[in-house]
């Protein structure tokens, strides 16, 4: 079989479209197959995206892309029943956003990105599901889509977290519930003026708001809220194995989160526009599959390239970076006419030299740390209690803050346990 394409990419998400765009601009014959009806039809995340990597190959892309809002405020709240302890970081709006996050809606952004890839010369074929891989001995030489075969010199799997083809290739083992978190999200429509008044935002300004504690009823995870131009992205992320163990349903947790204070007042009078759910690989560098084989690369969520530290949840920038690394590898191998495993191993070396694998290595202890149940139970209650005692007066003499915290720690936890958790946190995040 003579290869019809230089590269076939499975999945029209950020990793796949980045790879296709870069290869097409280099003159390679490349096609993206996407099982959804359109790019972005099946893609879901909370909403924040860092544009530094995309800005490298589409300069000033934010001036034409469907950007919702630039994030100028980041808040983390610890919830305990009807109390809330929050900390925030705010910045003046930037005219040059890469490095700072902004919100996007994937169904719109990915369609725009697919058009850019097509303009660069790639073929984006939607409604086509890759069901298997073509092999010539140990070499991967294309894909099967139903009864049709599509040969190619190289295949890049950007198929998402389920990684069906990566498993068939023997690069990915069976997915384990304890290595996954489940994200469920609703997009709730609100008038632009109402949204900006409610969150004290200017035009195109946005907020990222994370919630820890009661939203997940003590299970590892948290709630989130992102502002879009005329809507809110509201959802929760929760450990899949613990969710099953406790017999809880993610949609019920989401409803409890939406009805909790202060969230219910933030989404008041909003109109439900969309509901989605998505598995998130958050086992870190320990859970990554092998990312290359002869003629085959794995990128994005399929390679487990998601960083979650409790303070940061970043996958989009990692997806773009892995798409660029995959494109550079395929291009170089095409020039050398060498598609062996040794030649494709440069893909992992590229990721190791940029921020992707370095970040995952830096925060390799984060997944284990985030399984600590005290983060979601005792600590939110402790912070809220201390905050309430500082803010209120019951007629009794006040204590120094250090004494107040010390007494509450001894009552609700233990000093030794807090020290142990603090040391683990410093090592993890």
Total residue length of the chain: 429
Tokens encoding 65: 């892309």
Q: Which H or E element spans position 425?
A: helix 415-428
**Which structure tokens are listed for 89?**
């970081």
Could you please state the CATH topology (level 3) that the domain comprising 178-281 is classified under: D-Amino Acid Oxidase; Chain A, domain 2 (3.30.9)
pLDDT tens figures, 68-89: 999 999 999 999 888 999 999 9
- Cα gap 234→263, rounded to integer Å: 9
Would the CA dihedral through 126, 132, 137, 140 be positive or negative? positive
DSSP 34-71: ESSSSTTSS----SEEE-TTHHHHSTTGGGTS---EEE
DSSP 177: G
pLDDT in tens, 174-230: 878 888 899 999 999 999 999 999 999 999 999 999 999 988 988 999 999 999 999
Which SS3 state, helix, strand or coil, does residue 8 take? strand
Tell me how far apart the alpha carbons of residues 421 and 63 are, in angstroms, rounded to a whole number: 44
E-only strand ranges, 299-345: 307-308, 313-314
Q: What is the pLDDT of residue 95?
A: 61
Q: What is the pLDDT of residue 1?
A: 47
25, 49, 171, 154: which is closest to 98 by C-alpha? Answer: 49
Q: State the pLDDT at residue 99.
A: 66
State the alpha helices, DSSP H only, in 249-294: 250-259, 263-266
| Domain spans of the chain, in order of start | 5-68+104-173+289-353, 178-281, 369-428
Element (H, E) at 156: strand 148-157
> Are the CB atoms for 327 and 61 separated by under 8 Å?
no
Look at residues 271, 227, 233, 268 and name the one whose alpha carbon lies nearest to residue 254: 233
This prediction's pTM: 0.93
Residue with tokens 């370095």: 358
Task: Tell me how many helices (H) and strands (E) the chain has.
Answer: 16, 19
How many whole angstroms separate alpha carbon 402 and alpha carbon 405? 5
Distances (CA, A) of 32 to 24, 35, 74, 143: 11, 10, 35, 11
- The per-residue pLDDT string of the chain (429 residues; one tens digit each, 9 = 90 and over) reads 456 899 999 999 999 999 999 999 999 999 999 999 999 888 888 788 888 889 889 988 988 999 999 999 999 999 988 899 999 999 887 666 656 789 999 999 999 999 999 999 999 999 999 999 999 999 999 999 988 999 999 999 999 988 999 999 999 888 788 888 999 999 999 999 999 999 999 999 999 999 999 889 889 999 999 999 999 999 999 999 999 899 999 999 999 999 998 999 999 999 999 999 988 888 888 888 899 999 999 999 999 999 888 878 888 999 999 999 999 999 999 999 999 999 999 999 999 999 999 999 999 999 889 999 999 999 999 999 999 888 888 788 888 888 888 888 888 888 899 999 999 999 998
Q: Residue 128 — φ and ψ, nearest 5°?
A: -120, 120
pLDDT of residue 21: 98
Element (H, E) at 120: helix 106-120
User: Which CATH number is associated with domain 5-68+104-173+289-353?
Assistant: 3.50.50.60
């Amino acid at each position: 079989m003579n290869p019809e394409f230089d590269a076939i990419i499975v999945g029209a998400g950020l990793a796949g479209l980045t790879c296709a765009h870069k290869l097409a601009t280099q003159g390679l014959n490349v096609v993206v197959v996407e099982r959804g009806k359109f790019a972005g039809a099946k893609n879901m995340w909370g909403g924040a995206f860092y544009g530094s990597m995309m800005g490298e190959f589409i300069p000033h892309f934010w001036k034409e892309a469907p950007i919702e809002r630039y994030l100028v405020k980041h808040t983390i709240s610890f919830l305990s029943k009807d109390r809330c302890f929050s900390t925030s970081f705010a910045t003046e709006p930037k005219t040059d956003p890469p490095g700072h996050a902004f919100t996007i809606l994937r169904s719109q952004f990915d369609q725009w990105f697919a058009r850019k890839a097509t303009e660069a010369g790639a073929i984006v074929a939607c409604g086509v599901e890759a069901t298997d891989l073509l092999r010539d001995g140990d070499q991967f030489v294309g894909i099967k889509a139903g009864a049709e075969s599509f040969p190619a010199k190289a295949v890049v799997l950007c198929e998402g977290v389920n990684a069906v083809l990566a498993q068939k290739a023997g690069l990915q083992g069976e997915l384990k519930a304890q290595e996954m978190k489940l994200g469920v999200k609703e997009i709730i429509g609100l008038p632009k003026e109402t949204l900006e008044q409610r969150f004290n935002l200017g035009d195109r300004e946005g907020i990222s708001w994370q919630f820890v504690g009661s939203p997940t009823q003590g299970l590892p995870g948290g709630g989130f809220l992102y502002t879009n131009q005329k809507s809110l992205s509201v959802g929760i992320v929760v450990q899949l194995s613990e969710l099953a163990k406790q017999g809880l349903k993610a949609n019920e947790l989401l409803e409890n989160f939406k009805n909790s204070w202060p969230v219910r007042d933030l989404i008041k009078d909003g109109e439900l526009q969309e509901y989605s759910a998505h598995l998130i690989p958050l086992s870190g560098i320990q859970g990554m599959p092998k990312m290359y084989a002869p003629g085959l690369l794995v990128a994005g969520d399929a390679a487990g390239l998601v960083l979650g530290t409790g303070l940061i949840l970043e996958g989009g920038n990692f997806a773009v970076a892995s798409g660029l690394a995959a494109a550079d590898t395929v291009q170089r191998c095409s020039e050398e006419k060498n598609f062996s495993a040794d030649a494709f191993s440069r893909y992992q070396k590229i990721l190791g030299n940029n921020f992707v694998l370095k970040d995952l290595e830096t925060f390799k202890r984060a997944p284990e740390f985030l399984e600590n149940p005290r983060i979601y139970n005792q600590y939110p209650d402790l912070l809220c209690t201390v905050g309430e005692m500082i803010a209120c007066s019951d007629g009794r003499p006040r204590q120094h803050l250090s004494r107040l915290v010390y007494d509450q720690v001894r009552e609700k936890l233990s000093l030794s346990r807090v020290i142990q958790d603090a040391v683990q946190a410093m090592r993890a995040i």
